[in-house]
Structure 1
Amino acid sequence: MKNQTRDDLNILLYLDILIKRRWIIIGTVIPVFIITIIYLLNVSPIYLATATILPPANLEAPTGVSQLVQAYIGTAVPKNINTPVLYGEILASRTVNVNILNQEFWSNKVGAKIKLIDILVIGENDSTKRYELGYENLRGQIQVSLDQKTLITTLSVKSSESILASDIAKALIEQLNVFNRKGISRKAKENRIFIQERLVDTDSLLRSFEDELRQFREFNKRIENSPELQIELGRKLREVRIQEEIFITLKKEFEITRIEEIKSIPTINVLNEPVPPLKKHWPMRRKITYLVSLYATFMGVALAFIIEFLSKKYEFESFKMRFKKLYILLKNDLISILYFLKKEQLN
């Protein structure tokens, strides 16, 4: 019973200090709260557009793709690497980012379509520095994450404009498609071009042999009694037949190669297309206001206790005296509040 009474006295002691130093707490919380509100109302909002990309059906990179990727993005990559793992490096590469910076995007702030470099970098006339700053700014706005289990890639783009964030994300996805067309399918394209050139040469040679055969028959209409002419005719027929077989074989290979070239391109399958976000990603005004207010309250309470115990050695009063003092302070504050509300109603 004695310990419980002592605990009650300690609680009342703390309440007494808080009420006595209440204006210190209020004077700490209110300025911080006002400054926070002013900051949140004036800071530029950040919008986040996201897109999810499915892995291609054929994940195994073709032979030599590491060298192609290295030449395209300017970064050394390991061999036999899955394509989704490369997405982050490709999208962060200088080549891709410079291509994006040179594209035109709609800006609500400007009210027109302008190059992204002109949106991200303002007040810098040096071309080299402009693109360096633009590259760094754009890289800071792009985030790529890969789910190691599903190999689904999530692309996130931040911007101060909702539509601009979505448009940049779409442009980045298009750059992935460009890389696939120019990089990974290059070997299949080289095979197709080689067969196509051989097909043209064979067709030309076949036409030449056919012309020779036609001319031979026109000048030698009766060859029954000439063994030499019959042998020559057989030779020319054989040359035409061989070239026809080569031409037919190359024609088949050419069509197969064209199909393989299309099949070899890992299509970027977008599960969720980027759309203009409706809500701001940052600042989270309500959450920030709550956290800052809570922090300021703790700081005010700590400051109140420090000032109280530094000002004088606290004199312990009896339970009834402290309770009476606490009651009077609360009563006076309540009367002041009621008087203020009544006065406002009369006005």
Structure 2
Amino acid sequence: MDNQAFDLNSNSDNYTDGSPTREKSNFLSYLLVIARNQKFIIGSFFVVTFTVAILSLFLPNWYTAKTTILPPEKEGFLVGVSGSGGLSSIMGDLALPLMATPSDVLASILNSRRVAQAVIDTEDLQGYYGLKTKEKALKEVWSHLKVWVGEEGIVNLTYEDKNRDRAASIANSFIEKLDEVNRQTQISKAKNKRVFLEERLVQTEELLREAEVNLKKFKESKKVASLDEQTKSTIESAADLKANLDSIEVELYVATKTSPASPFTLELRLRREELTRKLKQTDSTLVQMASMSLDFTLLYRDVAMHNRVFDLLTQELERAKIEEAKDTPSLQILDQGVPPEKKSRPKRTYVVVFAGFLTLLSSIFWVFLKEYISNFKRQNPQEFNKLQTVYRGVSGDITQFRRSLLKFKKTKV
């Protein structure tokens, strides 16, 4: 090509704005600029693409191991029937949605510091990654860990590492530590419940014995035989309500110790209020029905209530003891982590294609910028000289600032 610079706007005044002729002329102008610099564009493309392709061969392969857990059943899960009741005792003030599902809770625990730290200690990841502090080791582990809840509540966990066997081992270790946390929390919850039940059972037994003695004395002194069937039925209903109320009190005690602000705890409080209201209504009915033998009716009611509560607390205590002694796996693992056969990254083909595409765009932009500067210099030499003067001044100021900064650093040292 000749040495005369091609002006992209040289024909702009010869055509009407927006005319097909002008559009065609501009398009041809762009093609001419590209054609004149085709060696630079094509050369840059091949050099960069080849270089990136070679360098990508030296990038380490990363392997991603995956494991999945089935949605936890409410019974046997650390949150019991609360949905998120035991979480606060494990992860402190970690925020969760109000309607978090048991699967969401599991995912949050897998992302917790407690579980990650346990995995780091078990797998010796601080030494494996060559890091000096545990905080850096935690950040490194979290950067390779991904946990999410999929369809139907299935919990998915992936971990990537340069060693395929190590990736599978760490992924499985996370599940093992989660199971340990779950079991420890179950045992702790059962222990709290057992201790509370034992105390309540002693109190209830004393109240039952006292009520039985009072009833016996009243019957002997007043020569009362028995109650009518309707009154007995009402007393039985009151006893059932009292037993249910005491059961709610036990659940509320345990829930308040683990997560006082959870939706489940709020629900228990509402149920307690409702049962208390119904029990008062039943007592009022008994008073109306037994106006002639009120004392005997109330004594009979006390015995029935305490007896029913005693039976229920005894059953609950046995269940709590069984839960406390149970140390079995609490999770249902759908897929165990296995060493992956294929690498997950780098995607070398994508890297090379992206680098080539970016090089083409950059090269074309550069040649158009060069062409524009050349035209501007030819058409506006005075303005161009002014810009050069400003550029030299700014460059000089930047250079002077760098020198001053270096001198300041040397002086400080």
Fold match by TM threshold 0.5: yes
Relative to 1, partners in 2 of residues 1:74 and 1:295: Cα closer, same or farther, differing over 3 Å?
A: same
The answer as to 2:71 corresponding to 1:62 is: no
Residue 181 of structure 1: CA displacement? 0.7
Picking from 90, 95, 113, the partner of 1:72 is 90
Picking from 343, 347, 354, the partner of 1:284 is 347
Q: Which residue of 2 aligns with 1:153?
A: 155
| Contact 1:65-1:183 within 8 A present in 2 as well | no
Q: Which residue of 2 aligns with 1:186?
A: 188
Aligned residues: 246
Q: Which residue of 1 aligns with 2:334?
A: 271
Residue 290 of structure 1: CA displacement? 0.8
Q: Which residue of 2 aligns with 1:86?
A: 105
Picking from 135, 139, 148, the partner of 1:136 is 139
Most deviating of 34-43 and 164-173? 34-43
| Contact 1:53-1:269 within 8 A present in 2 as well | yes
Q: Which residue of 2 aligns with 1:176?
A: 178
The answer as to 2:52 corresponding to 1:36 is: yes
C-alpha separation between the residues in 1 aligned to 2:369 and 2:313? 92
Relative to 1, partners in 2 of residues 1:302 and 1:143: Cα closer, same or farther, differing over 3 Å?
A: same
| Contact 2:186-2:324 within 8 A present in 1 as well | no
Give the residue type in structure 2 aligned to 1:293: G
The answer as to 2:32 corresponding to 1:16 is: yes
Relative to 1, partners in 2 of residues 1:9 and 1:251: Cα closer, same or farther, differing over 3 Å?
A: closer
| Contact 2:84-2:102 within 8 A present in 1 as well | no
Q: Secondary structure at the match of 1:150?
A: helix
Give the residue type in structure 2 aligned to 1:154: N
| Contact 2:74-2:81 within 8 A present in 1 as well | no
Normalization by structure 1: what TM-score? 0.58
C-alpha separation between the residues in 2 aligned to 1:65 and 1:266? 19
| Contact 1:62-1:80 within 8 A present in 2 as well | no
Q: Secondary structure at the match of 1:51?
A: strand
Residue 10 of structure 1: CA displacement? 5.3
Q: Secondary structure at the match of 2:74?
A: coil
Give the residue type in structure 2 aligned to 1:143: K
Q: Secondary structure at the match of 1:103?
A: helix
Relative to 1, partners in 2 of residues 1:253 and 1:8: Cα closer, same or farther, differing over 3 Å?
A: closer
C-alpha separation between the residues in 1 aligned to 2:49 and 2:138? 37
Residue 88 of structure 1: CA displacement? 3.0
Supply the RMSD in Å over aligned alpha carbons. Answer: 4.1
Relative to 1, partners in 2 of residues 1:20 and 1:80: Cα closer, same or farther, differing over 3 Å?
A: closer
Relative to 1, partners in 2 of residues 1:307 and 1:194: Cα closer, same or farther, differing over 3 Å?
A: closer
Relative to 1, partners in 2 of residues 1:75 and 1:305: Cα closer, same or farther, differing over 3 Å?
A: same
Q: Secondary structure at the match of 1:42?
A: coil
C-alpha separation between the residues in 2 aligned to 1:265 and 1:193? 22
Unmatched tracts of structure 1, length 5 or more: 105-114, 125-129, 197-248, 314-347
C-alpha separation between the residues in 2 aligned to 1:266 and 1:189? 18
Residue 263 of structure 1: CA displacement? 8.8
| Contact 2:70-2:153 within 8 A present in 1 as well | yes
Task: Tell me the alpha carbon deviations over residues 306-339 of structure 1, each in whole angstroms, 9 at most, x when there is no partner.
Answer: 33444359xxxxxxxxxxxxxxxxxxxxxxxxxx
Q: Secondary structure at the match of 1:277?
A: coil
Q: Which residue of 1 aligns with 2:366?
A: 303
Q: Secondary structure at the match of 1:121?
A: coil
Q: Which residue of 2 aligns with 1:118?
A: 127
Normalization by structure 2: what TM-score? 0.49
Q: Secondary structure at the match of 1:139?
A: helix
Residue 159 of structure 1: CA displacement? 1.6
Most deviating of 79-88 and 172-181? 79-88
Relative to 1, partners in 2 of residues 1:15 and 1:67: Cα closer, same or farther, differing over 3 Å?
A: closer
| Contact 1:24-1:303 within 8 A present in 2 as well | no
C-alpha separation between the residues in 1 aligned to 2:175 and 2:27? 62
